[in-house]
Amino acid sequence: MSDAAQPTAAEVRAAAEAVKTALDRHLAAVERRSGEDDPAVYEAFNELAAAAEAYDELLYDRYDEVTPFEIPGTDDAPPYTGPEEPNALSVLIRRDYTVAEPQRLLAQAQRIEAADDDSGADISGTVHGALGLLFGEFEPDEIASRHKEFGLEEGDSTLWVTAADEPADAGEWLEAPFEQVDAQRVVCRFDVSAVFDDDIDMDDDDEDEPDVDADGPDADVLGEDDDLEPLDADR
């Protein structure tokens, strides 16, 4: 980049101040959050991501320096092109699980089956039958909150809110509910993945690596903080 095209020091400083302001707004939104999927928190998160990205670019262009933080997933979402005032919404949810404890799952299914006086079937003895009983008895949100009781282990999850001009006709999409998702009509989305934890773990490993000298590693550099779990990333 030529000298003429470089941002001024004042522009870099202004971008840094914008990051500070966005950071304060994000914290305030988190403190006032009304629930796990509060849209105000999501909006503040995106504003903070945009401010941080702008500052990072200006800092690099002016001083050939970068920031140490990165916000995952913000570059992948296409721009929203849906209606400004949507008349209808679709909420798309996917949650992945692994059957970590089949015997616990089977035991829960047997309890459900035993409590159903009208059922003469005996389907709780197989994993797929037990899963059918479980998801037929409980709402998905309850299963998510009690998954360990049912012998399940959480994997990745995502929730998309998409906008539509008109409500879909009854039965229109039931055969293929996720086939015609328009990514440019996604109003907001919330992702949870172990990959975010892995990124944090890798950063922690780099920071906590002890110095090695001729006498071997310094054991004193490993303190109590090394046992702390990293915070979950959910955007």
Residue 165, pLDDT score: 86
Residue 74, pLDDT score: 45
- Report d(CA 21, CA 48) in Å as an integer: 9
The domain limits of the chain are 9-63, 78-97+155-210+224-235, 101-150
| pTM, full prediction | 0.51
- Report d(CA 167, CA 186) in Å as an integer: 15
Q: Distance between terminal CA atoms of the chain? A: 33
- Report d(CA 232, CA 140) in Å as an integer: 21
Question: Which of the 8 DSSP states describes residue 225?
Answer: G
Report which secondary-structure segment, H or E, holds 31. helix 9-31
Residue 117, pLDDT score: 60
150: nearest Cα among 188, 120, 108: 108
Residue 14, pLDDT score: 95
- Report d(CA 12, CA 150) in Å as an integer: 53
Match 């409590």 to its residue by tokens: 115
CB distance 124 to 130 below 8 Å: yes
- Report d(CA 63, CA 17) in Å as an integer: 17
CA 177, 178, 180, 183 torsion-angle sign: positive
Q: Which segments of the chain are extended strands (E)?
A: 88-99, 152-164, 186-192, 212-213, 216-217
Mean pLDDT of the chain: 79
pLDDT tens column, 178-221: 887 888 888 888 888 887 765 555 555 655 554 444 343 333 33
10-residue averages of pLDDT along the chain (235 residues) = 72 94 93 84 88 90 83 60 87 94 92 72 80 92 93 92 90 87 86 72 56 39 34 39
